[in-house]
Structure 1
Amino acid sequence: MGHIGEDGMGQRPKELTPHASPLHYLGAEMRAWRNQRGLSLGKLGQAIVFNSSYMARVERGDQAPSPDLVHAYDSALGASGALIRLHESITQGASLEALRARHVSNPGPHVSKSPVALADESGIQAPSEEGLSVPVRTDDGRIIFVSLSRRALIGALGAGAAIAAASDLPAAATAARRSSLSASGANPIELLQATRRVLIDNDNRFGPTQVIPVVQQQIAAIKELRADLRGADRRQLLQVQTQYSELCGWFFQDLGDFRAAQHWTREALETSHMAGDAELTTYILARRSQLAGDMRDPIEAVDVAEAAEGHAAPRSRLAAVAATYGAHGHALRKDVTMTQRAYEHALNLHANMDPDPSSPWGVWLDTAYIEVQRAHSHAVLGNHHGAAEGFRSAIGRLPAGYHRDRGVYLAREAVALANAGEAEQAASVGLQALSIGEETGSARINRELAQLDESMNQWRTVPSVADFKDAMTEAVLRQA
């Protein structure tokens, strides 16, 4: 998706005017960080999946950046929150003079120090410690982003977020926070679990970009709290840390950052062993198989799924979960017979499982979920009509709150329809998916739509297809 930028072919980049306005100042800082890392607009654009022409306009100060773009720059270039804090100051109305004064009096890591490679581990750290832009739906149905202070964020997420706020305080303040929690009778583990549920709900509505920093702050807070606990309490806190790390891995997986997803999923697997929770370990193994499937690694997907099924208790729900993800691995190997057998095996495990109402893992698994995974495998195997029918059926069964998942299924249905030669219907479904993709920022939706856009080139003169391609172009330019 990355186009050749103004500095991508040896052309002299346009001189910037950081003194002209706060937006020009921000654009100049974004270019400075990029140049320090030795990256062209095109190369950075490919890495963070943004249009390089749009990035160039932002760097020149000709267009305001979306929060997603600033977060992507900051994470990929290792700016440690500097660009995010600058952007938040601008959205809060800071003057150019105030920005300069703040830059001088409160210097963060300068671009000339501590070089960070684009793929370095620092790219998966929490980008901001001072605030967060959260999505809010207005009365007329639009989604806007409002910057909240820590205090407002704590109020918005509930008392559980107070634990995250404690994670970056000095040791004495952290100890006082722990003492306050104990004195009030608050249970930190219950608060963390409640906050995790809020984050999961917010993710499906708006996508993971806005909640990843909060999840990482919670993980840092849990590590602080572990220092004061022993025995069963400490093991329970390790279980909660495992759940947060797995959630962080899922958010990065949805963003398409598979390297970060692997990092957090591996961390979840390690802490599950420390917690001594065999069921949680089995669930993480199953999730690793799903991640391998998204990365189109068939051997890993099959082998890890078989390991997870082997660890699962007989007739457990987790055995069926693992078998479902392993089935897609066989599809990636283009083995039609084994794929069919594997899905029948998963359905049989599900039909004969002994549901444990006390187990929180894989509660979403039902025959509809297995069938939508089969539809995904149909698409890989070239059965495009079967895939489209499967996704259409899955969309009709989704609960109302599964906004992002609906977008994923719509996008995959549209791709299947296009591959089946149903261009007009594919364009109509693709437009629905595009709307959800813009709202949630889901890379899974965007990857499918990019594939759809390319496959529709042969029908570009069809009016409905032309409308879809125009909408795609506008969405790439907006990037918000």
Structure 2
Amino acid sequence: MSRPERVLTPDRSPQHRFGYELRALRKARRLSQDTLGKLVHVSGDLVRLIELGERQPTQAFAESCDRELNAPGVLARLFRAVEEATDSRPDTDNTVVGIGSAVSHGPDHRSDETIPVEMLTLTGETVSLAINRRALVGGALGIPAVLFLGGATAVAPTMADGTLSDVLHNMRQMRTLLAMQDNTFGPGAVLPTAVHQASILQQLRQAAGGKARDDLISLQSAYGELCGWLADDLGDPRSGQHWIDRALEWGHESGDTAQTGYVLMRKAQRAADADDAAAAVGLARAAVRSGGLPQRVVAAARQYEAQGHALTGDDAAFQEAIEAAYNIVAHVSANGDESRAAWCTPAYVAIHEAAGLMRLHRPELAAAKYEDALAGWSSDMHRDLGIYRGRLGAAYAAARQPEPAAAAGRSALAIAQRTGSGRILAELQPLATALAEWRSSPAVRDFLAELRAVVAARATGPGALPPTTMGRS
């Protein structure tokens, strides 16, 4: 019997925070401590001690783990905080003897050097840390006019409105860029940076007031929604749920009805993916009722409402909701301010019509609709292309056309390998089951063999993913 996993204490020191995030990243990739140790050329026991905060990491270890866990810069940045804390600690600190680390167990009398900071973890939880001021400011990506004074964080009182406006603009642009990178490189390369940006916003809002504070919280809600999507795609729906719930809380707190409605739409999407028909319909309608939504967000909500109706077999209600979504996107100006759901295009609505047709047991029509929608699919939506090619394969399999089903599956699998998307692999698992009866076909046999090899490699190597995950349509 394996020993029970010890609860970690990330609020104890930067070293313990490093261990906490290391464990979160390792578990997100479904790696054991021994497996990670082999990848970075240390013992599994050393990985365990570092996670527990009982052994100080080295820079080489942090950089190797960042590389193997597909989290560029995350642990290296945390290591710098560990190093700063170690450098600033007096020689008389009460330390743990015999394990090569300097973990303080006594009170910290250097209040001028360390400050309590509220940070967000990769799973969306809030922890309070005592962090060296220089390390924290250095890790804030150079955002101007952020000061950490007197044991508390504060926006510099001399910050002009224009400066804050620039910060908000830049961070909004960063979120857009991260969403684009996710579709190209996959969630593992994006989530740590998104969480870091959300943590910076957490600090900025502490001393802000009025409209400035509301704007910061609204943007934090947008980052929370993105983190939820990324966690889902990594195969961690529990963390995804935590993030999306926080995003909704922040949206309400900010008073931004458009952002709140957007998050409600996303919750409807998750409900449809989980085959929860009542929640999909109810949340989609709540999103529309929230008011002030960009028209593309309304269209997206209606298409997820349509999925809820399809799940219950209500063909008429499904058609009404899908047609409403089509009508909305057909009349939205290409130059309009629709940045919150720029992805909701006629092709995207067609994808969801195909998904509903599958739920209504019309696979031939669904396959044709998928083919039409994907023929002009944007190259910027690379990862989503893999998801929908997987669903195209499922439609062909249900229509008893195994060769085109296998071809679509192989195309999706290639994208899954490039992006590390758990969602794509999730789409391919039922396809593999559906194609089993045609395993004598060379096309089917080749696809099944390739899928088995990828799943086996992901189960033991870097970027490991679970065999099934919640998808997002």
CA offset at residue 183 of structure 1?
Answer: 12
Q: Which residue of 1 aligns with 2:401?
A: 422
Distance in 2 of aligned mates of 1:78 and 1:300: 40
CA offset at residue 91 of structure 1?
Answer: 6.0
CA offset at residue 448 of structure 1?
Answer: 0.8
Q: Which residue of 2 aligns with 1:375?
A: 354
Deviations 1:280-304 (A, max 9, x none): 2222211111111112111000011
Tell me, which stretches of 5 or more residues in structure 2 are unaligned? 8-26, 68-96, 106-119, 127-134, 464-473
SS at match of 2:142: helix
Distance in 1 of aligned mates of 2:306 and 2:57: 43
Q: Which residue of 2 aligns with 1:64?
A: 39
CA offset at residue 173 of structure 1?
Answer: 10
Residues 414 and 452, structure 1, Cα contact 8 Å, conserved in 2: yes
Q: Which residue of 1 aligns with 2:305?
A: 326
Distance in 1 of aligned mates of 2:123 and 2:173: 24
The answer on 1:192 being equivalent to 2:171 is yes
Q: 1:107 to 1:304 in 2, by over 3 A?
A: same
Q: Which residue of 1 aligns with 2:386?
A: 407
Q: Which residue of 1 aligns with 2:199?
A: 220
Tell me, which stretches of 5 or more residues in structure 1 are unaligned? 1-9, 11-30, 38-46, 94-100, 110-120, 128-149, 155-159
- The AA in structure 2 aligned to 1:453 is A
CA offset at residue 271 of structure 1?
Answer: 1.6
Distance in 1 of aligned mates of 2:374 and 2:420: 19
Distance in 1 of aligned mates of 2:104 and 2:191: 21
SS at match of 1:478: helix
CA offset at residue 260 of structure 1?
Answer: 2.0
Q: Which residue of 2 aligns with 1:262?
A: 241
> In percent, how many aligned pairs have the same letter?
28
Distance in 2 of aligned mates of 1:78 and 1:302: 44
Distance in 2 of aligned mates of 1:201 and 1:430: 24
The answer on 1:290 being equivalent to 2:269 is yes
Q: 1:402 to 1:438 in 2, by over 3 A?
A: same
CA offset at residue 396 of structure 1?
Answer: 1.6
The answer on 1:162 being equivalent to 2:142 is yes
CA offset at residue 362 of structure 1?
Answer: 2.1
Q: 1:349 to 1:125 in 2, by over 3 A?
A: closer
Q: Which residues in structure 2 correspond to 1:28-107 (within 5 Å)?
A: 59=34, 64=39, 88-90=62-64, 104-105=100-101
Q: Tell which has more relative contact order, 1 or 2 (C-alpha 8 A, sep 6+).
A: 2
Distance in 2 of aligned mates of 1:62 and 1:231: 49
Distance in 2 of aligned mates of 1:92 and 1:341: 48
Residues 154 and 203, structure 2, Cα contact 8 Å, conserved in 1: no
Q: 1:336 to 1:228 in 2, by over 3 A?
A: same
- The AA in structure 1 aligned to 2:344 is L
Distance in 1 of aligned mates of 2:55 and 2:362: 46
Q: 1:416 to 1:105 in 2, by over 3 A?
A: same
The answer on 1:124 being equivalent to 2:127 is no
CA offset at residue 412 of structure 1?
Answer: 0.8
- The AA in structure 1 aligned to 2:34 is E
Distance in 2 of aligned mates of 1:333 and 1:213: 38
Q: Which residue of 2 aligns with 1:364?
A: 343
Distance in 2 of aligned mates of 1:190 and 1:446: 35
Q: Which residue of 1 aligns with 2:211?
A: 232
User: What's the Cα RMSD here?
Assistant: 4.4
The answer on 1:210 being equivalent to 2:189 is yes
Distance in 2 of aligned mates of 1:425 and 1:224: 52
Deviations 1:261-313 (A, max 9, x none): 22222222222222222222222211111111112111000011112222335
Distance in 2 of aligned mates of 1:324 and 1:234: 33
- The AA in structure 2 aligned to 1:300 is A
SS at match of 1:408: helix
**TM-score (norm. length: structure 2):** 0.68
Q: 1:402 to 1:338 in 2, by over 3 A?
A: same
Q: Which residue of 1 aligns with 2:449?
A: 470
SS at match of 1:221: helix
Identify which of 259, 264, 270 aligns with 1:280.
Answer: 259
